[in-house]
Structure 1
Amino acid sequence: MTATVLPPSIEAAELSWQDGVPESARFGDIYFSRDNGLAESRYVFLDHNRLPERFRQVAPGGHFVIAESGFGTGLNFLAAWQAWREHQPDHPATLHFVSVERFPLRRDDLSQALSHWPELAPYAEALLSRYPPLTRGVHRLVFDGGRVRLTLYFGDIVEAWQALAFTADAWFLDGFAPASNPGMWLDETMAQIKAHSGPGTTLATFTSVGRVRRALANAGFDMRKTRGFGRKREMLTGTLDTPAIPGNAPASTDAGADTPKPSTLIVGAGIAGCLLAHNLAQRGFPVTLVDSAAHPGAGASGNRQGATYVKLGVEFNDQTELALTALTFSHRFYQPYRDQGWYPTGLLQLAWNAKEQERQHKFLERNDYPEEVLFLVDPEQARALTGLQVRTGGLWFPGSGWLEPARLCATLCQHPLIDSAFGVQVDRLTNQGPWRAVASDGRSFTADRVVICGGHRSPALLPDGDGYRFKAIRGQVTHLEEAKVQAPDAVICGARYLNPAHGGQALTGATFDLRDDNPTPTRASHEQNLTELDAMVPGVVTPNAETLDRCDGRVAFRCTTHDYLPVTDGVDDADGAPVSGLYLMTGLGSKGLSYAPVLAEFLADRLTGQPGCLPGRLVRRLASARLRAGRPATSKSEKTTET
């Protein structure tokens, strides 16, 4: 019987080890062949799906999708990744691997299992370094500079296939034997396999059980038996041979080598626009990035420092799952930029007053998060972690930290497929075949589609922009001389946040001014920041006249929505009809550094026709239609707040 586990955690696999081979205590079956698990993976799944030859045929900017029914130790993924490296085309293309696991392995068990194959060590180390926390739902892992993308669903297999959007080129039907785990081989699962396949999709499985063969044949696959691996006499292979369904063909065959990839114009070079431009360019799609400022990361992304932080709800609902997905994806995404704009110092969400202490108590009572995401610390632990004499403890996020946003934006723009134009104020957009953006100085830019990432200025470029419920929130940060403040060793968040010192200064803030459009820093806002900081961590700074006289700072206007959830979607006109080729990515509020990486990944998936990194229920939370006045709003029970 499965023990009840509070969300968002999921039960881990319980293993026994026989001669170094892991066996599931729950299902009584081994994870890979005792003879040679890697050789079996290559024979059953790679060879019988003809992957080496098919990999070489993927078009420029194209992709190949493998879907798998049981991730297990990740051996099949690593074997496919290694084969992709050896046989991938010599132009930009992406391997997608979509897999599901109901009882994922702990990282230590995964490491021990994969240690059998020294030749896979570089791949295994990369997987282990990005292996997600054991939380329910979708995890997107990116490898090889974007050429390999793993979509890993921790949860029930039928639930996974219903939630995810993809069309497989090849299936690895792996998992424990049907007699050990019949739930994985139900007819409902077979029907979902058909739903995620197109003409020419192939499959292979180690089993030759008759009911599995019949179920797949009933789903439309031309099935046959062939010689199995090692001591197994037979296995099954199949090909889906049905009339083409528009838009449902395997993506690797949707374009020839000479077909140009659609071009994209991105308006706005903040963190959202730069991440999206970089993501598309990695996949082989040309991008033009324009911004009215003189350099990237000059608007709301222009603060010297910014924390990677989200406020996780007491109830684990869709909003909380989106925030958690964004946070953990951002930690993986920023890994390569460590000490080059990304500083994973850890972050303390301080229980700084009675109300926050009560909220954190309820949060921990109703949820179970893996310690690699967060854990409770007492005042003594909090002082040791932050280096400050805080009075209370709180929630410690070991993977979080802070960024230099503008520095990261500048790095992301450096790609041969990104054409950047700064000092360009786009006044209007027209759609005359290709889209055309006209600037105030008379210059114009054309592209097949446009993505507006303009923050609080986005409505000016939208059809019927006044009908969207956006808010521009003034936020002033305060710069403090390092000698005049007790700077922490890690980020502290509460009524305000305080970052570690960098370049001789520490940064605190930010104000939350809903009805103030003053773009200039004010003494009153500095005083508000320092007073709130002193109340949160007494003695860290003295908010007196001398301190205020020496303060400087910066004002930025954060864009948020009426329900404080971001928007990443196509755009409708005033009549509710979709506007072809026009997209919107904004409303990230004060948590943009955490949300932007996964939203850029999601929108790039959509723009390139590749498997989606978010489940359908979270995609709906990002819809643009909800922002239109007069349209149904998010229900009261689903609303969230920004702090």
Structure 2
Amino acid sequence: MNQDTPMLPSIEPATLEWREGQPVSARFGDVYFSRENGLEESRYVFLAHNRLPERFANLKAGDTFVVAETGFGTGLNFLATWQAFRDQAPSGARLHFVSVERYPLTSDDLRQALSLWPELESLADELCEQYPPLVVGNHRLVLASGDVRLTLYFGDALEALGELTFEADAWFLDGFAPACNPGLWNTSIIEQIRQHSRPGASLATFTAAGYIRRALADAGFAVQRVPGFGPKRDMIRGDLPPDGQNTGDGNGSILVVGAGIAGSLLARNLADRGRTVIVADRGEAPGTGASGNAQGALYAKLGVQFNDQTRLSLAALLHAQRYYPANTPRVWHGTGLLMMAGSEHERLRQQKFLQQNEYPDRILTPVSAEQARSLTGVPCPHGGLWFPGSGWLEPYRLCTTLLDHPNIRTEFGFRATRLLPCNNRWCLSGEGRQDLIADAVVIAAGHETRKLMPVLGEFRMKAIRGQVTSLPSGALTATPKAVVAGTRYLNPPMNGLAVTGATFDLHDSDPQERLSSHQENIAGLESMIPGLLSCDDLASSVSGRVSFRCTTHDYQPVVGALVNGDGRVLDGAWLFTGLGSKGLMWAPLLAEHLADCLTGQPAALPRSLARRVDPKRCLAEPVDTGVPVG
């Protein structure tokens, strides 16, 4: 590898030159936007020639309009589109913007570039607040309280179009001029653009090169050369013929079985998109199962190899770090988190991890034992990896907060007995309760999920017992001010108690608290942070809680269409389970992805990562579906 080339997952940022206060690409020697008036240029080239203002005005409540772009650059085109959508579209309509950028701007450069447009300040501030660290792959940003979504892929355009699942209503064929960036303009890209276009889709681009016009025409677009903006004499616009079909997302009701972290996040996501959701749970309140602990840490143990498994964990962690502060700030505590190198094995693993990967400091940074002590407030005997964007949540209050929405109806105390298809809908029966009927159903019932799946066959899912221990803050010689994770985790105190744990009890179905499990947690904590506990005999006087986490054979979640034992998809039935002990990390991104699938919107997960969570892989003897197993 070239010494000047960053290691994955970091991506090389754009190198800018600032000329008279405006950004110019040092790599390509081209401007990002017109020196005369970049915002008016975006409006003229992309918005006007895709007829976006009038198309936005003609949307109906519940419609989603998808714009795709081949070069995000400074984000000016996106903000101009967002502003026009905000001003023209009716209440209840939604905008989804898909964009790719091979050389993304740093967050500082992005802020400086967008500061040139004071009228976009409020939108630019929200974008910059959510702008992801510069790591390769897909990033989903939820903006304007869910009315606007941005799928931003950092990487090669052809790779992105092969990975992303969406159909666009309009295209901004941006990026630099063909002479500066010929790799962006080739027949493979044009073919992908056509494949990702809905009937009736439009396009516009700065360029008027003849070979590009011919390639777009060969792909089926009716192409026109029209006057350009400012000194540019010509540009191109085009359209695909419509097919007369309605491409709306529909508005059928959705039944979510389970009111834990997964079910609550999914229900809220769908409700925010205008869908009617029924949530059924056997408990008398939200989060009475594995999501009912008083405290839960948000963290990921990223792999040494930057493979698809690590990519998925990183994407989920970053999305969760954006989601909770923006949407549930009252139950989010952004204290930061230390992943302690508390054993020789973990120390060597972290050393190898740092040698083989380069992560932005916004995500993680190595710290010494002294730095760890300063950051966490406890006597850490070892250093480790510091995650400044992590922290902890209150899971029970989180579930309660998420389900408080007028589009969500809750049915607690619903002891489900049978789930069956009925007249192209789904019917859930419960003991002594009226049946619940909906157009689609999602089983998000944790370790109870398999019992409700109306299919035969063996699925590789299992329940793992976990007991947490709540320690009185007075029993600690120092008060943690950040989460410490290692052989155990320890949260900062809340209401005089700090939660630690949890046990990992395979093949153990005992639902009762056990003294031995408290002793195990306390011994693990004392080993991780010697001297933290002020007395020796704590186990007999502490409280705790037992829950059962659902996991799979490969310890990856299960999110997608329900299949039977032969691998055949059951229409309208979906699974959302297998989150293990990291539901707080997994659930926001996977709920976003599953809501995309249910509503027919651009998918949050690239195809390679969606395969990692596909339910088909959990079949004990899966059919040959092309989905990797394990």
Which TM class, normalised by the smaller chain length? over 0.9
Equivalent position of 1:529 in the other structure = 521
Displacement, 1:240? 1.0
1:383-404 C-alpha deviation (Å, 9 max, x unpaired): 1100111111000000000000
Rounded to whole Å, the distance in 1 between the matches of 2:629 and 2:446 is: 24
SS at match of 1:516: coil
Equivalent position of 2:541 in the other structure = 550
Rounded to whole Å, the distance in 2 between the matches of 1:4 and 1:121 is: 34
Q: Does 1:585 align with 2:576?
A: yes
SS at match of 1:96: strand
In structure 2, the CA distance between the partners of 1:348 and 1:634, relative to structure 1 (3 Å rule), is farther
Rounded to whole Å, the distance in 2 between the matches of 1:339 and 1:200 is: 41
Displacement, 1:577? 1.8
Displacement, 1:350? 0.1
Rounded to whole Å, the distance in 1 between the matches of 2:340 and 2:39 is: 48
Aligned equivalent of 1:610, options 598, 601, 611: 601
Letter in 1 for 2:503: T
Rounded to whole Å, the distance in 2 between the matches of 1:84 and 1:242 is: 22
Gaps of 5+ in 1: none
1:267-319 C-alpha deviation (Å, 9 max, x unpaired): 00001001101111111111000101111111100000001111101101111
CA contact (8 A) 2:70 2:157 kept: yes
Rounded to whole Å, the distance in 2 between the matches of 1:557 and 1:632 is: 30
Equivalent position of 2:550 in the other structure = 559
Q: Among all aligned residue pairs of Structure 1 and Structure 2, give the percentage whose two residues are the same amino acid.
A: 54
Equivalent position of 1:437 in the other structure = 428
CA contact (8 A) 1:435 1:448 kept: yes
CA contact (8 A) 1:459 1:465 kept: no
Displacement, 1:4? 2.7
In structure 2, the CA distance between the partners of 1:632 and 1:474, relative to structure 1 (3 Å rule), is farther
Please, what is the CA RMSD of the aligned residues?
Answer: 1.8
CA contact (8 A) 1:627 1:633 kept: no
Equivalent position of 1:317 in the other structure = 307
SS at match of 1:139: strand
Rounded to whole Å, the distance in 2 between the matches of 1:491 and 1:337 is: 21
Equivalent position of 1:81 in the other structure = 82
Displacement, 1:58? 2.3
In structure 2, the CA distance between the partners of 1:567 and 1:273, relative to structure 1 (3 Å rule), is same
Name whichever of 191-200 and 464-473 sits farther off.
Answer: 464-473
Q: Runs of 4 or more off by more than 3 Å in structure 1?
A: 632-635
Displacement, 1:454? 0.3
Equivalent position of 2:224 in the other structure = 224
CA contact (8 A) 2:328 2:401 kept: no
In structure 2, the CA distance between the partners of 1:565 and 1:543, relative to structure 1 (3 Å rule), is farther
Displacement, 1:487? 3.0
CA contact (8 A) 1:487 1:499 kept: no
User: Equivalent residues in 2 for 1:416-565 (5 A)?
Assistant: 416-433=406-423, 434-464=425-455, 467-485=458-476, 486-542=478-534, 544-545=536-537, 547-565=538-556
Q: Does 1:280 align with 2:270?
A: yes
1:484-522 C-alpha deviation (Å, 9 max, x unpaired): 113311000000000001111101000000121111111
1:183-225 C-alpha deviation (Å, 9 max, x unpaired): 1111211111111112210001111121211111111110111
Equivalent position of 2:63 in the other structure = 62
Rounded to whole Å, the distance in 1 between the matches of 2:554 and 2:625 is: 7
SS at match of 1:565: coil
Equivalent position of 2:559 in the other structure = 568
Equivalent position of 2:26 in the other structure = 25
In structure 2, the CA distance between the partners of 1:101 and 1:200, relative to structure 1 (3 Å rule), is same
CA contact (8 A) 1:530 1:543 kept: no
1:551-601 C-alpha deviation (Å, 9 max, x unpaired): 000011000001100000111123322111111000000011000000000
SS at match of 1:175: coil
Rounded to whole Å, the distance in 2 between the matches of 1:350 and 1:597 is: 25
Equivalent position of 1:160 in the other structure = 160
CA contact (8 A) 1:72 1:175 kept: yes
TM-score (normalizing by structure 1): 0.95
In structure 2, the CA distance between the partners of 1:590 and 1:465, relative to structure 1 (3 Å rule), is farther
1:160-190 C-alpha deviation (Å, 9 max, x unpaired): 0000000000001111111111111112111
Equivalent position of 2:122 in the other structure = 122
Letter in 2 for 1:254: T
SS at match of 1:113: helix
CA contact (8 A) 2:456 2:564 kept: no
Rounded to whole Å, the distance in 1 between the matches of 2:629 and 2:243 is: 42
Rounded to whole Å, the distance in 1 between the matches of 2:276 and 2:397 is: 22
User: Equivalent residues in 2 for 1:128-143 (5 A)?
Assistant: 128-143=128-143
CA contact (8 A) 2:566 2:622 kept: no
CA contact (8 A) 1:225 1:235 kept: yes
In structure 2, the CA distance between the partners of 1:384 and 1:73, relative to structure 1 (3 Å rule), is same
Displacement, 1:625? 1.1
Letter in 2 for 1:313: G
User: Equivalent residues in 2 for 1:95-114 (5 A)?
Assistant: 95-114=95-114
CA contact (8 A) 2:566 2:623 kept: no
1:243-268 C-alpha deviation (Å, 9 max, x unpaired): 67xxxx7xxx424xxx9611100000
Equivalent position of 1:295 in the other structure = 285
Q: Does 1:399 align with 2:392?
A: no
1:508-558 C-alpha deviation (Å, 9 max, x unpaired): 00000012111111110000000010000101115622x122200001100
Rounded to whole Å, the distance in 1 between the matches of 2:534 and 2:316 is: 36
TM-score (normalizing by structure 2): 0.97
Gaps of 5+ in 2: none
Rounded to whole Å, the distance in 2 between the matches of 1:260 and 1:65 is: 15
In structure 2, the CA distance between the partners of 1:634 and 1:385, relative to structure 1 (3 Å rule), is farther
SS at match of 2:280: strand
Displacement, 1:5? 2.1
Letter in 1 for 2:579: L
Rounded to whole Å, the distance in 2 between the matches of 1:11 and 1:360 is: 23
Rounded to whole Å, the distance in 1 between the matches of 2:567 and 2:81 is: 43
1:117-171 C-alpha deviation (Å, 9 max, x unpaired): 0110101110110000100000000001111000000000000000000000000
SS at match of 1:314: coil
In structure 2, the CA distance between the partners of 1:404 and 1:357, relative to structure 1 (3 Å rule), is same
User: Equivalent residues in 2 for 1:199-278 (5 A)?
Assistant: 199-241=199-241, 253-255=246-248, 261-278=251-268
Displacement, 1:2? 9.8
Equivalent position of 2:618 in the other structure = 627
Rounded to whole Å, the distance in 2 between the matches of 1:326 and 1:228 is: 42
CA contact (8 A) 1:626 1:632 kept: no
Rounded to whole Å, the distance in 2 between the matches of 1:624 and 1:504 is: 42
1:459-498 C-alpha deviation (Å, 9 max, x unpaired): 0111346611111011100001111113311000000000
SS at match of 1:135: coil
Rounded to whole Å, the distance in 2 between the matches of 1:196 and 1:566 is: 28
Displacement, 1:60? 2.8
CA contact (8 A) 1:626 1:634 kept: no
Displacement, 1:88? 1.3
1:222-250 C-alpha deviation (Å, 9 max, x unpaired): 01111111121111100012767xxxx7x
CA contact (8 A) 2:169 2:202 kept: yes
Rounded to whole Å, the distance in 1 between the matches of 2:499 and 2:29 is: 55
In structure 2, the CA distance between the partners of 1:496 and 1:118, relative to structure 1 (3 Å rule), is same
Rounded to whole Å, the distance in 1 between the matches of 2:26 and 2:365 is: 29
